[in-house]
Chains A and B, each alone.
Chain A
Amino acid sequence: MTAAPKQETYDVVVIGAGPAGLAAAAVTAKAGLSTLLLDENAGPGGQVWRSVMSTPVIAPDKLGADYWSGKALVEELAASGAEILHRATVWSLDKALDVGFSVGGGSAFVNARRVIIATGALERPLPIPGWTLPGVMTAGAAQTMLKSSGLVPSGQTVLAGQGPLLWLLAAQILRLGGCIDRILETTDRRNWLTALPHALSFLASPYALKGLSLIREVRGKVRVVSGVTELAAAGDGMLQSVRYVAAGKRETVSADLLLLHQGVVPNVNLAMSAGVDHRWDERQLCWSPVCDADGGTSVAGLAIAGDGAGIGGAAAAIASGRIAARGVVAALAPSRLASLPSKDQLAAALDRATLGRAFLDVLYRPSKSFRVPSGDTIVCRCEEVTAQDILQSVAIGATGPNQLKAYRRAGMGPCQGRLCGLTVTELMAETRGKTPQEIGYYRLRAPVKPIALSELAALPKTEEAVSAVVRG
């Protein structure tokens, strides 16, 4: 690992070292294209294989075979000749494919002939009353600490929400001797009916066996409350209890840790800021970039692979990373195509990996009550803007997320809308009787991650740029 890029220009810059980014960079580098892989974390793996080369959880059965499968791809990447920069935060990407990033306290720009965004997913917000209290975290946060630091919940712990990750996390916590007092499952029972048409393909997928055995493993050890319709965290300066309603019955459980999860959604900030067209995905209830079969976008030379192009999971991300990389090789080094798997082979791998996804999407479609909050529940955690504040802004003329910024600063804090954007779109759509597509999303611009002004000022400047602003 180095602290600065070795070159100013690359054939390919790949952003994100999770499954899609590792797979893509390995393919382009092996094909002889100069490849720079930029990643924000301290080591490779992204979220799903976080700390796969350094985790203290070394007993192989604790984290599961799917976790350890990441090692092979990390080794493949290491042998490929790609340059990899960790702790590099990309904060700018434009249509000229200039990539600006911060590493080691300074910023640098490189230019690429092709860029592959592989920035993956983030957890869908679950904006319940009290979700900003200390002691409330995402399930992903707990899993990150478990994988990278071997930390497991030790007090009164409640998991709440729905989706495959919730069960996987529960199983991992229990295997490592951590505590879970209760699991509050929010899946809408009516979803089973709408998911039924997709059940056959799900049963044929590897997710079925794995998922069912995880659920069985967890249910044997923890009290699971299904059909939860209301959820709130309460406490004075710190989480003390979780209140919920299940089957019409109101209950309170004391807790010092509440882990929330209701699926993951594409992390769109960088792609949107680069000008990539996105559309509202009604099945996955999120914004997804409009991509062609090779992951290509509305921005020439810019492709997106993995969960950032629509949620498909790790195996699908590997396949789509290779597909996007093959597209780059076809454009820049066509003579090397013969050494790569064919388009059909890669497409078949992607199809296999996405088998069963429709079933999961429909079954774990979060209820509106857990997506569209009301009253004094905080929507924007950074600027502390509540659902009621947003309704009032709509009442006096705010038409969409960008107007709302002027009224309330929602989405203008350091997270730049990552934790509130979907909620704001859906809440405003609901209030104004419009579709999310009509309401739109925050207009995103570089820098998409906050950087110090001094870091910007220290960037090399052309004479032309200086004379444009210096008087006399």
Chain B
Amino acid sequence: MTEPSALLEIEDVRKRFPLPRSLGESLARRPERAIHAVDGVTIRVRAGESVGLIGESGSGKTTLGWLVARLHEPSGGTLRFDGQDVTHLQGSALRTWRRNVQIVFQDPVGSLDPRLRVWQIIGEPIRAQVGGRPAEVRERVRALLPTVGLPPDCLDQYPHEFSGGGRQRVSLARALSVQPRLIVLDEPTSALDVAVQAQILNRLVDLQRERGIAYLLITHNVAAVRFVADRVAVMYLGQIVEQAAVRELLEHPVHPYTKALLAAVPVPDASRRRTRYRISGEIPSLVDPPPGCRFAPRCPFVIDRCRVEDPPLLPFQGTSRLVACHRADEVRDIPPEELLVRDGAPAAPSPGARPPPAS
């Protein structure tokens, strides 16, 4: 059932980071423990489409981005790009393939070499993929600068001379330099102020319209996802819990975690003020997670079945939406605001005890 137009197909991809064992543990033949950072994720990205990946820190979204760019070796599953299996590409084949997928890293300070000039930073992928003499590389970089909104005279500047927004533009130019078909954007705006963030987001959307690049936008910033993404996947503890078109997902979330996440976002609207948040608990550890739904310990709608049986990611009521929740049909109509309490309002009864709405 592979769609012909899918550019990137990730199937049941996994990444485990084994924890070091002490000598005593090894001698006692204790089983090896591992962090299950990405645990069976399936996503498709079509050409020219932007898919948002939201989730909190520790949910494995950055690891997934690195897997897509082949910066991590997957521990399981397959990665197909344009119909070709790239899960185990090695050597020069991998190197040639890399021009298809570029990545913009989270930290605009740490991902730019402080001792290289702007044209050398942006030109590095060109040198690696296309080659050419320094003067030619420099000319190609000069032609690239206006597309990300950098002034043409900054070729010889160093990264520290730029503001956060400027550095992120350099990062973006570097990703664009080899005309990739997919860019993994790992928190491209989280280090930026709201006004600068708006500029970068506008630029990202313009670039996509002009060049038909596909994006995998990894962020915890719901506002950025709303503006850039066509489809959104929500990740929690290494698994996708819900996936749908952006407007559907943000306006009618189904999975309790998606609802919790959206309810938690503070809105710059003083009329919603003094609302209190009811989801407790924190993201649990990813070291050998227990069976069952991973959100169960925090979920207000939890039933016994959730603690035993892992809910699969299934199409929801015949739509294109995918949800991994045993009670998806019952919790569907509960708005995220239900997870908030207004100031002065009487404390609502525990939502776990509330009768499911008639559907």
* Real binding pair: no
B-side residues, CB < 8 A to A, are none
A-side residues, CB < 8 A to B, are none
